[in-house]
Amino acid sequence: MSTPVFIFGAGPQGRVLLDIVRSDARRVAAGFLDDRPDRAGVAIAGLPVFHATEWLAGGPRPAAVVVAIGNNAMRMTVAARITAAGYALYTAIHSSATIAHDVEIGAGSVLCMQAAVGTGCRLGTNVVINTATTLDHDSIVEDGAYLSPGVHSAGHVHVGRQAFVGAGAILLPGVRIGDEAIVGAGSIVLEDVPARSLSYGTPARMHRIVDEDIDWARILGGRGR
């Protein structure tokens, strides 16, 4: 029997991950984990939700876990909790994703429906490549970075550790997105973006350096949330 997969995060991204795990004929999605006490004990799509701390201390073994959390820093922290508890990270690749023969993908990374990753690319650990996002040849995406839906990246692009790129952004050949930088939705990035900067627009301009804690609900959700 194949090792069951549990999804850490019982919110909307958890349901996205459920579809990805279910597209993998070799694996079975067995349940969700969540730190929020109000989420534990309910069922999502017929699968149980367990309280994460209790489950990590005494859950079934072997099992693999994938993190369904958009906040890059939190996703990395939770991934470290999972490995410290002795569980493997599941690398979630939707069956409709297209990946060149020589791509390297780190543990715990997520490739959503219709993602496409070209030859020579290297993805770190706990990276998210969202729905219909394309990453062309010889690009590097460092640990914990997040490319939102519909991002199109040309070749030789470098996305730094825990950087965030908003929906529909376009990254021109060879640009470097700094560590923990934030690129707004729909931006066209012509030039390198510094670490921890907030940039957006067409062409993308840097608006400020983010020196406070990042408000992830606002960054991910935009104004409509």
Ligand X SMILES: CC(C)(COP(=O)(O)OP(=O)(O)OC[C@H]1O[C@@H](n2cnc3c(N)ncnc32)[C@H](O)[C@@H]1OP(=O)(O)O)[C@@H](O)C(=O)NCCC(=O)NCCS
| 200 binds ligand X per the rule CB under 6 A | yes
Helix, strand, or coil here: 28?
Answer: coil
Region binding ligand X by CB under 6 A among candidate stretches 3-11, 104-112, 118-126, 178-186: 178-186
Tokens at 170, concatenated: 């376009």
- Applying CB under 6 A, among 5, 68, 93, 167 the residue interacting with ligand X is 167
How far is the C-alpha of 127 from the C-alpha of 111, rounded, in Å?
A: 8
Nearer to ligand X by C-beta: 64 or 117?
Answer: 117
- Applying CB under 6 A, among 26, 101, 223, 225 the residue interacting with ligand X is 223
Q: Which residues are 6's β-sheet partners?
A: 31, 65
Strand order in the sheet with 158-159: 104-105, 122-123, 140-141, 158-159, 176-177
| 184 binds ligand X per the rule CB under 6 A | yes
| 11 binds ligand X per the rule CB under 6 A | no
- Applying CB under 6 A, among 7, 64, 92, 182 the residue interacting with ligand X is 182
Region binding ligand X by CB under 6 A among candidate stretches 29-37, 82-90, 106-114, 181-189: 181-189
How far is the C-alpha of 141 from the C-alpha of 163, rounded, in Å?
A: 9
Give the residue closest to ligand X by C-beta.
184
| 201 binds ligand X per the rule CB under 6 A | yes
One character per residue 41-60, x = contact with ligand X (rule: CB under 6 A): --------------------
Q: Which residues are 43's β-sheet partners?
A: 48
Region binding ligand X by CB under 6 A among candidate stretches 47-55, 58-66, 79-87, 196-204: 196-204
| 162 binds ligand X per the rule CB under 6 A | no
- Applying CB under 6 A, among 29, 68, 97, 219 the residue interacting with ligand X is 219
Strand pairing report for 47-51 and 43-44 = antiparallel
CB 199 within 8 A of CB 210: no
How far is the C-alpha of 64 from the C-alpha of 21, rounded, in Å?
A: 11
Tokens at 17, concatenated: 């991950």
| 151 binds ligand X per the rule CB under 6 A | no
Site for ligand X in 112-131 (CB under 6 A): 130
**Buried b or exposed e, range 130-154, using 16+ CB within 10 angstroms:** bbbbbbbbbbbbbbbbbbbbbbbbb
Nearer to ligand X by C-beta: 108 or 184?
Answer: 184
Interface contacts to ligand X, rule CB under 6 A? 130, 148-149, 166-167, 182, 184-186, 198, 200-201, 218-220, 222-223
